[in-house]
Amino acid sequence: MRWTTLSVVVLLVVAGCSGGESSVPGAAPASAIDALLAKAPVAANLPAGSAMARIRERGELLIGGSLDAPLLSQQDPGTGELTGFDADLGKLLAKYVLGEPKTKLVISTSETREPLLANGTVDVVLQTYTITPQRAERVAFAGPYYSSGQAIAVRNGTDGIAKPADLSGHKVIAGANTPAIAAIKAAAPTAEIVEFGSDPECLTALRQGRGEAYVQDQALLIADAAQDEDLRLVGEPFTTDPYGIGIKHGDDQFKRFVDDWLREIQKSGLWQDVWRNSIGTVVTGEPPTPPAIGSAQGS
């Protein structure tokens, strides 16, 4: 009896965490990315001895990234396919270097990204890696390839939080190891930050009243709100987070190569197509103007 009750509780929690939905946000039909890959460019000649030449020799691009970031880099539980904005860019980059979209994902975290790059375990990190001058001292950043921002979400019926400064004195939920923590500290120094490991956990905590607001990347919050009628976004993003592609520190040749590729796919409209297939499935309107390469301090 006791075990039955316990299992029911476990199942309820698990169901709560997964949102009870089987659909994966940002999961475009596989054919969409195949069509993009078909017209994706391939680099003409790679200088001998360069990082690109070594990757082509190896036959696959090693990418540091995530399996659980909706819209950005999430594994479809049904097909095992990685979908999302970062994931698709990774496939396009692999095609550019290798001629075919052969990638291998190495799960990286904010604790391991820099060592993984430094010791050559991965070739690039594509993981909503915000470019900052401090990080640029240890990592080379190509890009920025996307400009995002932190936004605030609250439950329906929450009053008194209309702008970032209103977070002062409130309990604010944020994802552990996300730029949200620094953003909250800067906008509302007296806010009490409560961290949880993943987006579903943060949403559960918000629903259970462990905080009055949730600060997270706007695209993720829009995806969450699309599945949850009780969630409401407040105001516009209040930070600018330029995401860069992490590359081994000091490898200017590889960085320029990736920058050139980013410029090329921005110009040809591939970047916009990738956006439509991923973030554009929940954010309405036309794709934004991609950030200018090299525009972020540290890129």
Partner 1 sequence: MSHLPALVDGFLTTLALVALSFAGAFALGLVVVVLRIAPVGVLRAVGTGYVETFQNIPLLVWLVLFVFGLPEIGVRFPLFTTAVVVISLYEAAYVAEALRSGVNTVAHGQGEAARALGLTFGQSLRHVVVPQAARRVVQPLGNIGIALTMNTSLAAVAGVVELTASANRVNLVEALPIPIFVGAGLCYALLAAGIGGLAGLLERRPAT
**From candidates 209, 229, 285, 289, binder to partner 1 by CB under 8 A:** 209
**45 or 208: CB nearest partner 1:** 208
Residues 91-110 binding partner 1 (CB under 8 A) are 110
Residue with tokens 């375990």: 121
Site for partner 1 in 106-135 (CB under 8 A): 110-115, 132, 134-135
CA–CA distance, 280 with 13 (Å, rounded to integer): 30
Number of Cβ within a 10 Å radius of residue 228: 17
When asked if residue 201 is in the footprint of partner 1 (CB under 8 A), the reply is: yes
Please give the Cα distance from 205 to 153 (Å, whole number): 13
Q: Which is nearer to partner 1, 204 or 272 (CB)?
A: 204
Among 78, 197, 250, 269, binds partner 1 (CB under 8 A): 197
Cα(76)–Cα(23) distance, integer angstroms: 9
**Which residue in 58, 210, 232, 263 binds partner 1 (CB under 8 A)?**
210
Residue with Cβ nearer partner 1 (17 or 165): 17
The residue type at 144: P
Measured on CA atoms in the order 254, 259, 263, 269, is the torsion positive or negative? positive
Helix (H, G, I), strand (E, B) or coil at 161: coil
Contact assessment for residue 233 and residue 163, using Cβ atoms and an 8 Å cutoff = no
The smaller minimum CB distance to partner 1, of residues 119 and 289, is found at: 119
Measured from the CB atom, the residue of 82 and 220 that comes closer to partner 1 is: 220
Task: Measure the CA–CA gap between 95 and 177, rounded to whole angstroms.
Answer: 31
The residue among 225, 217, 132 whose CA lies nearest residue 178 is: 217
How many residues of this chain interact with partner 1, rule: CB under 8 A? 34
Q: Is 102 helix (H, G, I), strand (E, B) or coil?
A: coil
Rg (CA), the chain: 20
CB atoms within 10 A of CB 282: 19
Which is nearer to partner 1, 175 or 280 (by Cβ)? 175
DSSP state of 167: G
Name the minimum Å distance from CB 175 to partner 1: 11
Contact residue for partner 1 among 79, 177, 253, 295 (CB under 8 A): 177
Which of the residues 10 through 39 are near partner 1 (CB under 8 A)?
A: 10, 12-13, 16-17
In angstroms, give the least distance from the CB of 195 to partner 1.
5
Give the shortest CB-264-to-partner 1 separation in angstroms. Answer: 29
Give the interface with partner 1 as residue ranges (CB under 8 A).
Answer: 9-10, 12-13, 16-17, 110-115, 132, 134-135, 137-139, 176-179, 181-182, 194-197, 201, 204-205, 208-210
